[in-house]
Amino acid sequence: MSIEHAVEKLQVLLGARLSLNNSDLELHGRSETYHAPANPDAVAFPRNTEEVSALVKICADEHCPVIGFGVGTSLEGQTQAPLGGISVDFREMKAIRTLRQEDMDATVEPGLTREELNDELRATGLFFPVDPGANATLGGMAATRASGTTAVRYGTMRDNVLGLEVVLADGRIIRTGTRARKSAAGYDLTALMIGSEGTLGLITALDLKLQGQPEAVTAAICAFESIDAAVSCVIETIQLGLSMARIEFVDTASVAAFNKQSKAGMPEMPHLLLEFHGTETGVSEMAAVFGDIAADHGGLGFEWATKREDRDALWHMRHNAFYAIKQSRPGCLSIVTDICVPISRLADAVNETIADLAASGLSGPILGHVGDGNFHAILLVDPDSPQELNSAKLASERMVKRALAMGGTATGEHGIGIGKLPFMTAEHGDGWEVMGDIKKALDPLNIMNPGKLVPPSN
C-alpha cells in the first residue's frame, strides 16, 4: 500500500487526466495566504461521479490522501497536501445538470463557479445569491460553508443548498437531502457535509436554491467621520430590521488601497458600501430610511449607483479589496482574520481590534460583512521578519479570544483548514472531539483531506 501505487493505478483510470506536472503540483499545493505550500503527489481531473468514486476506492485501497480542489481561493491552507496524496480538481465537472425554473432550483456539478452559474441564469430571471469575493466553485463554497457580501439578506451556503451528491471515503455514492424546501427525515447529512472542507467526502453535485432577480437594485457608498459612527449606523440598521442586501464596512486604510489601485477617488475616511433589493417603491423607501439612520450618525456624501455598470464597478472594487490591500505593502505576507460576533458586540470587537493592532505596531486594514457581525483585519507582514510574523499571529489569536468571549466565532466564513485549528478547542470544547468521532466513523483510514479541521489524532 502506498501513494506511489495509487498514482500508478490512477494513471490507468484517468490517463492524461492525472497530472504529475510540477506546475500543476505547485498550483494545487499553495494557498492565498501565509500558510507554507505542501504539494500533492498528483492532480486528478475526473469527469463524472463514477470516476470520482473509482478514484476514491483506489486511494482507500492504497491509504492515499485525497484532497478536493475547486479553484484554490480558500484562505486557511485547506487545499494543501501536508501528507502528499492526490488533489482532485473538479474543473472538468462544471455542468448544470438540471435547471428547474418553476421550482427555482438547479442541480449543478461542483467545478462550476458562482459567476459561471449566474451568467447562465441571467436570461431566466433567477440568480444564485451567495457571493464570496472570489469567483469560487460551488463545490468549494459548499465545502467551506462560504458566504460573503449578500449573506445579510440571503444567508450562507448552509441556507442555499438543498441537497448534495457525495462520494464517501470508501467510494460509496450517496444523495443527501431532497429538493423539498423542508424535511424532517432524520439526520441532516447535507448540513454535515457543508463546511466539512472535504474531510468527509467529495461533493459531486449540488441541488441549489435560486432566487428571483429583484425588480430594482440600488447601491450606494457613504463616508463617516469615524469607525464608531459607521459601525453604530450598521448596528442600528440591523436592529431596526431594515432589509439590506449588502452592508459592507471598509476602513480608511482600505479606502486608501482602493484609491491607489482602482483610482476610486473616495475621501480617505471609513465608508459603508450598501445595496438594496426589492420593488422600485420598496428600494426607495429602504434607501430613505437608511439615509435617515446614516444622517443621525453623521454619514456624509452619499453616492448612489442605480446603473448596473456603476454597481458592478463598486462591487468589483470591494471584491478585489484583498489584493488592493496586499498591494499597499508590496512583497508582504498576509494573515487574514475572520472573526464574527453578535451584532450588539460589533463596535466593541472592531474598536478593541484597532487598539490592539495600533499597540502592536501592526499594519492591518479592516473591512467586512458587518451586517452579519463579521469582519477581517488583513495583517500585512514582512516575510523576512519572524518577530513581525509572530506578533501578527499573536494579534490574530487575541482577536479570536475576544470574539469567543463575546459569544462569537474564530471564523465567520473562511473555515478551519490548518490555520484555525489552534482555536477549535476554545470554540467547541468536547464538541471538537465529537467532530473527530464523526470523521473516524466516516473516514476510518483518514484519507479525506487529512490534517485539516478535526483534532490531529484523527
Ligand X SMILES: Cc1cc2nc3c(=O)[nH]c(=O)nc-3n(C[C@H](O)[C@H](O)[C@H](O)COP(=O)(O)OP(=O)(O)OC[C@H]3O[C@@H](n4cnc5c(N)ncnc54)[C@H](O)[C@@H]3O)c2cc1C
Member of 53, 78, 409, 411 binding ligand X (CB under 6 A): 78
User: From CA 438, how far away is CA 187, in angstroms rounded?
Assistant: 13
Candidates 397, 398, 393; CA nearest to 381 is: 393
Q: With respect to ligand X, which residue has the nearer C-beta, 204 or 232?
A: 204
Instruction: State the chain's maximal CA–CA distance in angstroms.
Output: 68
DSSP secondary structure string, 184-219? Answer: -SSS-HHHHHTTSTTSSEEEEEEEEE-EEPPSEEEE
Closest to ligand X by CB, 84 or 198? 198
Sole binder of ligand X in the list 7, 202, 257, 283 (CB under 6 A): 202
Complex with ligand X: residue 210 or 367, whichever CB lies closer: 367
3-class SS at 290?
A: helix
Binding to ligand X, residues 301-360 (CB under 6 A)? 322
Q: What is the residue type of 275? A: E
Shortest spacing between CB 142 and ligand X, in angstroms: 7
The answer to whether residue 197 forms part of the interface with ligand X (CB under 6 A) is: yes
Nearest CB to ligand X, comparing residues 99 and 193:
193
Q: How far apart are CA 37 and CA 79, in angstroms?
A: 9
> 105 in helix, strand or coil?
strand
| In the complex, minimum distance from the CB of residue 292 to ligand X, in angstroms, rounded to a whole number | 29
Strands 86-89, 42-44: pairing kind: parallel
Question: Mask 79-108, x = binds ligand X (CB under 6 A)?
Answer: x----------x------------------
- Cell (9 digits) for 83: 501528507
Measured distance between the N- and C-terminal CA atoms of the chain, rounded to whole angstroms: 19
Nearest-angstrom CA–CA distance, 232 and 230: 6
Residues 345, 190: Cα–Cα separation, whole Å = 31
| Cβ atoms 84, 40 nearer than 8 A | yes
Interaction between residue 140 and ligand X (CB under 6 A)? yes
Q: Is 173 or 289 the residue whose CB approaches ligand X more closely?
A: 173
Position among 53, 73, 237, 458 found at the interface with ligand X (CB under 6 A): 73
Quote the least distance from Cβ 71 to ligand X, whole Å.
Answer: 4
- Residues in 350-389 that interact with ligand X by CB under 6 A: none
How far is residue 340's CA from residue 413's CA, in Å, rounded to a whole number? 9
Q: Does 70 interact with ligand X (rule: CB under 6 A)?
A: yes
Q: How far is the CB of 144 from ligand X (least distance, A)?
A: 4
By the rule CB under 6 A, 147 interacts with ligand X? yes
Answer for which of 144, 254, 328, 458 binds ligand X (CB under 6 A) is 144
Residue 42 main-chain phi, psi, to 5 deg: -160, 160
- Binding part of the chain for ligand X, among 64-72, 290-298, 346-354, 425-433 by CB under 6 A, reads 64-72
Name the DSSP letter for residue 37.
P
Which position among 13, 57, 71, 179 is part of the footprint of ligand X (CB under 6 A)?
71
Residue 110 is a binding residue for ligand X (CB under 6 A): yes
Q: How many residues bind ligand X (CB under 6 A)?
A: 35
Residues that bind ligand X (CB under 6 A): 32, 67-75, 78-79, 90, 110, 132-134, 136-137, 139-141, 143-144, 146-148, 197-198, 202-203, 322, 413-414, 449
